[in-house]
Amino acid sequence: MKGMRLLYVTCKNPEEARLIASDLVESKLAACGNIIAGMQSIYRWDGQLQSDNETVLIIKTSIERVAECRSRIKTIHSYTTPCILEIDICGVNAEYLNWVIDQTLPP
């Protein structure tokens, strides 16, 4: 099936997000990674309320490469339990979709 997905990933800082995005794009698992620094996260971990600055990484990939992306992110990521959310795309212009598919074809 021809299509694409976004992966929403939270990272400890922009450097980690850059490392993950570069690895995925270089290995053709993703077409693009967008890094959004300066996010404030509030969550409960080990029974304690936490507040941390994090960086959002949005990965654009083909449907066929999602599982490999997810696996690779888990390998590189510094968190024990990284947030990796798969977002279904209900509409995308054909030219952009074709570019994403082309960029994520296995070498």
The residues, ordered by sequence, that sit 6+ positions from 70 with a Cβ below 8 Å of its Cβ are 7, 84, 86
Q: Average pLDDT, whole number, for the chain?
A: 96
The answer to whether the CB of 53 falls within 8 A of the CB of 39 is yes
Return the pLDDT at 1: 59
> Pick from 29, 84, 90: which is nearest to 62 by CA?
29
- Condensed to tens digits (0 to 9), the pLDDT of residues 65-85 reads 999 999 999 999 999 999 999
CATH number at residue 79: 3.30.70.120
The structure's pTM equals 0.94
The answer to whether the CB of 59 falls within 8 A of the CB of 4 is no
- What is the dihedral sign for C-alpha 50, 60, 26, 22? negative
Q: What are phi and psi of 66, to 5 degrees?
A: -60, -50
User: Whole-angstrom Cα distance, residue 79 to residue 107?
Assistant: 29
Provide the domain count of the chain.
1
- Condensed to tens digits (0 to 9), the pLDDT of residues 19-42 reads 999 999 999 999 999 999 999 999
Work out the average pLDDT over 4-21: 98
Q: Which domain holds residue 52?
A: 4-103
User: Whole-angstrom Cα distance, residue 101 to residue 104?
Assistant: 5
